Amino acid sequence: MTAVGRLGFRVRPAGPRLLAATMARFNGLASASVADAMGRFNFMDPGLRARTGRKAVGPAVTVVCRPGDNLMVHKALALASPGDVVVVTTGGNVTSAVFGELMCESAIEARIGAIVVDGAVRDIEAIASKGFAVFSRSISPGACDKDGPGEINVPVACGGVVVRPGDVVVGDGDGVAVVPYEEADIVLQAVDELMDRERRRVAEIRRGQVFRPDVDELLRRKGVIE
């Protein structure tokens, strides 16, 4: 799709896509491990919470909405590809839900992977019963206008993190981490190394080394214990 419209009210083409095999390697990874692999950065603030108990992994389709309006969320759902995660910023509005049960029906039919909203959603019990992954800052019964303006597939700030079209979104019960598209292979390697260290530590615990020996050494260097 060719970008049309004007700055502030436009639809831009989808972002770059990882190879399917690369994207598949993110399946099952914990958001905490992914964040650790990025230097403990690139995770959304704790206000963005899992609302349905479902995990999310997929490339980002980004949306900027005017507060109290969800016109561009409707369009983004129509444009998203199967497995995409729609990431929405609402200009700080936490009372006007930009996503609800009927939109969820459309998202499921289109096989969209999840939605992340820095703002409000509603009908959460019905959405949870459908098994769709939703992350949001708030839940509210309030509704939205459909007038615009807004933008699709531009860089957005969501939960204090920059999300660009095509970046990898990893969400679970701990929260949401965002992997820059061009760093995906590096992050995956770092996660593999992290998980290998954790497996070795679990083995040590089960062999009887219950507590980390380096903690006492660190405390000695800081003059806390002898």
**Tens digit of each residue's pLDDT (9 = 90 or more) over 30-80:** 999 999 999 999 999 999 999 999 999 999 999 999 999 999 999 999 999
Say how many C-beta atoms besides its own lie within 10 A of residue 44's C-beta: 26
Assigned superfamily of 8-190: Ribonuclease E inhibitor RraA/RraA-like (3.50.30.40)
Query: Could you tell me the end-to-end alpha-carbon distance of the chain, in angstroms, rounded to an integer?
Result: 67
Angle value at C-alpha 212, between 208 and 216, nearest 5 degrees: 125
Note the pLDDT of residue 213.
85
pLDDT > 70 in the chain, percent? 98
Q: What is the pLDDT of residues 74-114, one digit of tens each?
A: 999 999 999 999 999 999 999 999 999 999 999 999 999 99
Predicted confidence band of residue 5 (pLDDT cuts 50, 70, 90): confident
Predicted TM-score of the model (pTM): 0.94
DSSP string covering 118-140: EEEE--HHHHHHHT-EEEEEEE-
Share of the chain above pLDDT 90, in %: 94
Q: Within 13 A of 216's CA, how many CA atoms are on the CB side?
A: 4
The SS3 call for residue 85 is: strand
Query: Are residues 168 and 184 in contact, defined by beta-carbon separation less than 8 angstroms?
Result: yes
